[in-house]
Amino acid sequence: MARAFGGNVEQLFRTGWFDIGGHRTGSTDMGDIAHMIPVIHPYLASARGKTHGADFPISEPEHAYLTPAKLLAMTAIDLLYGDAAPAKTILAEFEPAITKDDYLAFERGLFRTEHYRPEASATC
């Protein structure tokens, strides 16, 4: 999917303006989903300052609002072309790290109440 998205970035702009990066230090819900289904989480530069900070104003409104919509629409068209052959290939080649049922069981396991017992920590 990233290659399809990147091809569209280069079609709208120019070659070399797209990069498939590795792991970033940020955290998103997308990371959880990526363990179960193929995903992309593209970024477009359209603001200045510290990300999510008070000094993070949109500096290029067209690239903040319209360009992502165009690129995602173009990518959807590419993935659905030819009876969705590209999307079917991506799905067939994807190996999930965890099943939906295992993921839901893990998440539900996080919702529990634990009580601190000082006598238990004194033995450690």
**Each residue of 32-81: pLDDT tens digit?**
888 899 998 888 888 888 877 888 888 999 889 999 999 999 999 999 99
Per the prediction, the chain carries an average pLDDT of: 87
Question: pTM score, two decimals?
Answer: 0.75
Q: For position 32, what pLDDT does the model report?
A: 86
Find out whether 8 and 71 touch, Cβ atoms under 8 Å.
yes
Q: For position 116, what pLDDT does the model report?
A: 84
Side-chain half-sphere exposure of 8, counting CA atoms within 13 A: 19
- Of residues 22 and 11, more confidence is placed in 11
Percent of the chain scoring above 90 in pLDDT: 44
Question: What count of other Cβ atoms lies within 10 Å of the Cβ of residue 117?
Answer: 8
Q: For position 78, what pLDDT does the model report?
A: 97
Average pLDDT over residues 2-8: 91
Q: For position 121, what pLDDT does the model report?
A: 63
Q: For position 124, what pLDDT does the model report?
A: 57
How confident is the model over 74-121, as pLDDT tens digits?
999 999 999 999 999 999 999 999 999 999 999 898 887 888 888 766
- Phi, psi angles (nearest 5°) of residue 76: -60, -45
| Distance, CA of 50 to CA of 72 (rounded, Å) | 25
114-117: long-range contacts (C-beta < 8 A, 24 or more apart)? none
Q: Where are the alpha helices (DSSP H) in 1-124?
A: 2-12, 29-33, 61, 67-93, 100-110, 118-122
Scanning the structure block, which residue is given the tokens 């970035």?
A: 9
Scanning the structure block, which residue is given the tokens 């999510």?
A: 52
